[in-house]
Structure 1
């Protein structure tokens, strides 16, 4: 069915040139070939004022140009850019070429392959990223770049003002220096005190026990060999052994109460000099006075406050054993109260002369502010030939 056409003058149809199937214009004077196509006819109006393009056998016309004057060229189309992948943000797509440049698909693929960028889908790009730097290759590269940048920045030389400012900031203030010095003094003092306490409470006991045991063994050897005889003894010389079975105490008795010669060596000292001179165990009457450390240096009298009435105290000499029984205790008295050493000590409960023993030591523990006194009364004098007394056998 043929569509209706509007008639025109001069035998021209539609006011346009018609192109046949061979791209040749119609003869002049015919109804289709009187004037060339200008793009302003009815068809131009139908296409919104744009130039109508007809392609035929690789030739084309643009606007008012005649057919065949320029070769065919495809219109420019921007290359496809895939969407960014969150997991492979390190991959980058090269910028598209400018409007005046063109790249064929084969050349683009060759460039991408040469650059090492993965082609294909999302899975292929992810695998390629893992092969190069792992799953987070981009973050790793960025961190390395940041570290290298910081090193370069730190290596840059500083100006004199900046160098002085940094030196001033590093320099400690006088208050800081003083506080550090005081802290070091306190630490050193604390360490020295700890060492001193360890020496006093532990090492002095170890050394005193060793010295006392050596002296006791020497005494017993001399008695067995008959080298010593009862009589007058020099200061610091051992002459007897004290036994307190309840407290498991066995300690030598030496003449005098010198700290250096007697007491600090772990022994018990006999009050035998000057105004404090007391009787010997073999005397018919009198008070046998002894002194010993309660803490440190062997501490032989540490627990004499635990003695009760009737507990045995034995003094062993070369010829005899002298057995005393605890009679009374004075928990606290002044160090100047020498009356406790009298032949009949006041406060001891004794009313007449007899053969007594007095033990003196410091109190409270770890101090020498007061004195603790324990008194005992002799109940047995036993020759060594008869064997040990019951207090030592049991």
Structure 2
């Protein structure tokens, strides 16, 4: 009667009791009685105990066998003194290997030094020379604006003018002399004076050849692209009192460094047939060498006082 009432009133309680009983029976099944009574059960228990003991003895014997096998492995025999010395020598680097490593390090160091030198020559010298030349040109113009007459007696290395080549975007100060260290290496254009071997004219002279030199590569390289000038291109020289405008006339792509006739009063091969007011630009060629000289000639076409302003070639 109670069971039927529990089923009617609360199915959950019945299921819990039922599940508990079932799980108990499933998890720990009751031992079944061995047939044959108490003596048979005692005999079965003894046999089970014997079987368990044999399994334990077998596992212990296996562990002991493994330990004995490990202990019985032969130890590595120590090397003799001779073998030890040989092994030590083999571990050291051979003289040839040490020499090859040292030589490799020397080559790497030389390569780095050469790279630094090339960078210095092709880039840093230009940076320094352009800064110095730009500052020198500006200083000259400030001095000229203060007034005064044209200075005629110039010392070696003294700056007296500024050269413009509008087509090449060149603006460089002009100094007396063509000394490499005092003039050309500072990004300036040098005038061939008496200390250069041949004294050439100044822009304000009524006749003569105003001859100058400059680097084509490194140290500002103001004449880098003068080979691109064509007939009629303007070259302007500014001094304290005047602007002198020249027109490019002809070019000599290559000649010997000893050919000083190219800066004479009437240079042969220039196309000029008589005395006049000329300009000659000289520089090294081919690029990055000083084997030969390139020559560019021009003739004066205009002279203009600075007080009247820039010439047309610079006005644009």
TM-score by length of 1: 0.61
Deviation at 1:214, TM superposition (A): 1.3
Deviation at 1:163, TM superposition (A): 3.8
Q: Answer yes or no: is the 8 Å Cα contact 1:222–1:228 preserved in 2.
A: no
* Equivalent residue number for residue 158 of structure 2: 237
2:168 to 247, 268, 271: 247
What are the residue-to-residue correspondences of 1:160-239 with 2, within 5 Å? 160-226=81-147, 229-239=150-160
What are the residue-to-residue correspondences of 1:1-394 with 2, within 5 Å? 102-104=50-52, 160-226=81-147, 229-274=150-195, 275-394=197-316
Q: Secondary structure at the match of 1:344?
A: coil
How has the CA–CA distance of structure 1 residues 57 and 261 changed in structure 2, closer, same or farther, with 3 Å as cutoff? Answer: closer
Deviation at 1:75, TM superposition (A): 9.5
Over the aligned positions, Cα root-mean-square deviation in angstroms equals 2.9
Structure 1 unaligned residues grouped into runs of 5+:
1-54, 60-70, 78-100, 112-152
How has the CA–CA distance of structure 1 residues 157 and 234 changed in structure 2, closer, same or farther, with 3 Å as cutoff? Answer: farther
Deviation at 1:227, TM superposition (A): 5.7
Once residues 157 and 297 of structure 1 are traced to their aligned partners in structure 2, the CA distance between those partners, rounded to angstroms, is 72
* Greater per-residue helix proportion: 2
Structure 2 unaligned residues grouped into runs of 5+:
1-35, 60-75
Q: Answer yes or no: is the 8 Å Cα contact 2:149–2:241 preserved in 1.
A: no
Give runs of ≥4 in structure 1 deviating > 3 Å: 55-59, 71-77, 156-163
* Equivalent residue number for residue 73 of structure 2: none
**C-alpha distance after superposition, 1:300-356 (max 9, x if no partner):** 000000000000000000000000000000001111111101000001011100000
* Equivalent residue number for residue 62 of structure 2: none
Structure scoring higher RCO (CA < 8 A, sep ≥ 6) equals: 2
Deviation at 1:368, TM superposition (A): 0.6
Q: Secondary structure at the match of 1:276?
A: coil
How has the CA–CA distance of structure 1 residues 226 and 163 changed in structure 2, closer, same or farther, with 3 Å as cutoff? Answer: farther
Q: Secondary structure at the match of 2:50?
A: coil
